[in-house]
Each structure stands twice: as structure tokens, then as C-alpha cells.
């Protein structure tokens, strides 16, 4: 399996794993964003993933290309956060390589990233001078000579995906270790997802619903791991309230990419 195939497989394995509280999974869609949008995005992103692995174009340019290829459908943002992790991981091959890759980003990468961002409906914090909805954000980047790593550093408090760039992809590493611990296939993905969700506050939920809801989700994931809650009911409640741990899902995608490269087995039937 090539690194690009590992990245594509990571995207389809994450989205089809179930039951996953709140997210699109094999059993649930959101009204505007459905399973098919994620699967199509996994297929259509390939030329950008190849460029990420190839090492020619800048990371920001590749990110813009990935978003351009995958927002042609009507399902809105599907894998934007996942691309922010997968593209440096593909460029570097592994986590140490990805750390070097993000350290090498430039102001041009930051500008391309903002152009990619504006193709999505992902929002930053209101009032943030780098808010993508604010046309002055690009001016700020150019004035301050911010690299893409600087932009991620700016966003790290409020965005756990951006934080991966500045903390050595530590949650990605942790989630890959969880996959190795939790075992093969679909059940391994779901168990690792729940354990990461119980250990970390999802910043996407914080942005959408505030810190109290994010803390509630983290606590309830922990209760399920402790045998004190019903996963199906938790999932149904999250779906009904539109609570979507999307950043944890992004990190799980990066983690599956890493774990597959380390021998984690997606196909339990090969072990039988």
C-alpha cells in the first residue's frame, strides 16, 4: 500500500466506523453532509495527496488544491481538518518528517492556506484578526510575515488540529498508539475514537456549541468507557443536537495513516 493509499484508506475507515457519537458514520448522515460526500472526497483528493507525498509544491498550495478538489460536491467541508494533518504527514512520511515539514512552511503557504480556508465554511473565532471572513486577514499575514506554522501557532489555543502542528503531532501520536492498543479493524477505530474523545476536549464542539457542551461530551465518552452509559443513546443525542466531534475525527484520520504504516491491521479477517 502506498502512503497515498494509506491516507485514502484512513479517510474511508474513519468515516465508516460506527457507532461514533455525533459524527457522520456508516449509520448516520447530517442533512447536508452525507457518507457519500466523505467517500467521494477520499477518492477525489488523490491528486493533491500525491502532490503532498511528492514534495514539489508548497504545503499551503497542496492544501488549497485538496480543498478545491473536494468542495466541488455539495456536501460542504468534509476533510479540511484531516488534510491539515495528512498533508504534512505525507510530505514527511512519518511524524518526525511532518514536524520538519511544518517547520519549513513559508508566508506563501500561509496565503495559500487562507485561500483554501475561504473555500470552506469552517470558521475561526469571531473578532480574531486572522478570521478568514475578514478581508484584512491576508494583509495581517503579509504585514507580520507569518508562515503557515505561525498561523497554526496563532490558532493553537482554540483549534486542536492547528495545535498538532506546534506540539509535534502529539495527539496524532497518542491516537495511533490507542489504535495499536485497541486492536484491528472497525472496533479498534471506534474504541480509539472514544478513548481520545474522553481524554481531550474537541475544539470543534467548543467553537460550535461552547465549552460546557464540549466538556459534557468528554465526560459522557468517559462514562461509556467506564461501562456507565449507552453508546447508541449518546450517539443519537449528539446527532439530534448537531454535536459533531469533528476535530477528534480529523486526528483519528491522521492516526490511522500513521498506524497503518506501523503495521496496524485494518482487516481483522486477515488475522483470523
**Helix, strand, coil % in the chain, rounded to nearest 5:** 65, 0, 35
Residue 44 touches its own copies, criterion: CB under 8 A:
yes
Residue 43 touches its own copies, criterion: CB under 8 A:
yes
Cis ω on the peptide bond leading into residue 42 (within 30° of 0)? Answer: no
CB-CB contact of 41 with 79 (8 Å): yes
User: Distances from the Cα of 107 to the Cαs of 58, 159, 229, in angstroms?
Assistant: 10, 20, 47
Sign of the CA dihedral running 125, 158, 97, 121? negative
Q: What is the dihedral of CA 202, 256, 94, 157, to 10 degrees?
A: 0
Of 56-75, binders to its own copies (CB under 8 A) are 73-75
Residue 188 touches its own copies, criterion: CB under 8 A:
no
Q: Work out how close the CB of 47 gets to its own copies at its nearest, in angstroms, rounded to a whole number.
A: 9
Q: Which is nearer to its own copies, 6 or 207 (CB)?
A: 6
Q: Contacting its own copies (CB under 8 A), which of 20, 37, 51, 64?
A: 37
Q: Which is nearer to its own copies, 126 or 271 (CB)?
A: 271
Of 70-129, binders to its own copies (CB under 8 A) are 73-75
Q: Which is nearer to its own copies, 9 or 107 (CB)?
A: 9
Residues that bind its own copies (CB under 8 A): 1, 5, 8-9, 12-13, 16, 26-27, 32, 34-37, 39-40, 42-44, 46, 73-75, 185-186, 266-270, 272
Amino acid at each position: 500500500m502506498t502512503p497515498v493509499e494509506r491516507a485514502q484508506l484512513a479517510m474511508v475507515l474513519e468515516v465508516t466506523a460506527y457507532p461514533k457519537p455525533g459524527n457522520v458514520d456508516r449509520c448516520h448522515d447530517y442533512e447536508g453532509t452525507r457518507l457519500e460526500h466523505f467517500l467521494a472526497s477520499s477518492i477525489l483528493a488523490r491528486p493533491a495527496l500525491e502532490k503532498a507525498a511528492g514534495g514539489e509544491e508548497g504545503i499551503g498550495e497542496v492544501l488549497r488544491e485538496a480543498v478545491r478538489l473536494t468542495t466541488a460536491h455539495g456536501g460542504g467541508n468534509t476533510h479540511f481538518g484531516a488534510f491539515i494533518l495528512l498533508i504534512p504527514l505525507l510530505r514527511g512520511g512519518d511524524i518526525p518528517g511532518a514536524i520538519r515539514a511544518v517547520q519549513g512552511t513559508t508566508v506563501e503557504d500561509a496565503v495559500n492556506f487562507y485561500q483554501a480556508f475561504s473555500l470552506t465554511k469552517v470558521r475561526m473565532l469571531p473578532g480574531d484578526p486572522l478570521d478568514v471572513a475578514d478581508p484584512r486577514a491576508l494583509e495581517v499575514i503579509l504585514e507580520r510575515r507569518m508562515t503557515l506554522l505561525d498561523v497554526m501557532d496563532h490558532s493553537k489555543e482554540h483549534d486542536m488540529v492547528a495545535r498538532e502542528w506546534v506540539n509535534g503531532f502529539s495527539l496524532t501520536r497518542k491516537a495511533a498508539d490507542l489504535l495499536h492498543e485497541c486492536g484491528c479493524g472497525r472496533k479498534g477505530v471506534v474504541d480509539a475514537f472514544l478513548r481520545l474523545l474522553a481524554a481531550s476536549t474537541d475544539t470543534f464542539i467548543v467553537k460550535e456549541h461552547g465549552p460546557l457542551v464540549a466538556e459534557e461530551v468528554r465526560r459522557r465518552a468517559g462514562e461509556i468507557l467506564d461501562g456507565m452509559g449507552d453508546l447508541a443513546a449518546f450517539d443519537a443525542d449528539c446527532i439530534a443536537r448537531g454535536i459533531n466531534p469533528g476535530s477528534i475525527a480529523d486526528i483519528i484520520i491522521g492516526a490511522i495513516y500513521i498506524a497503518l504504516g506501523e503495521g496496524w491491521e485494518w482487516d481483522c479477517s486477515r488475522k483470523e
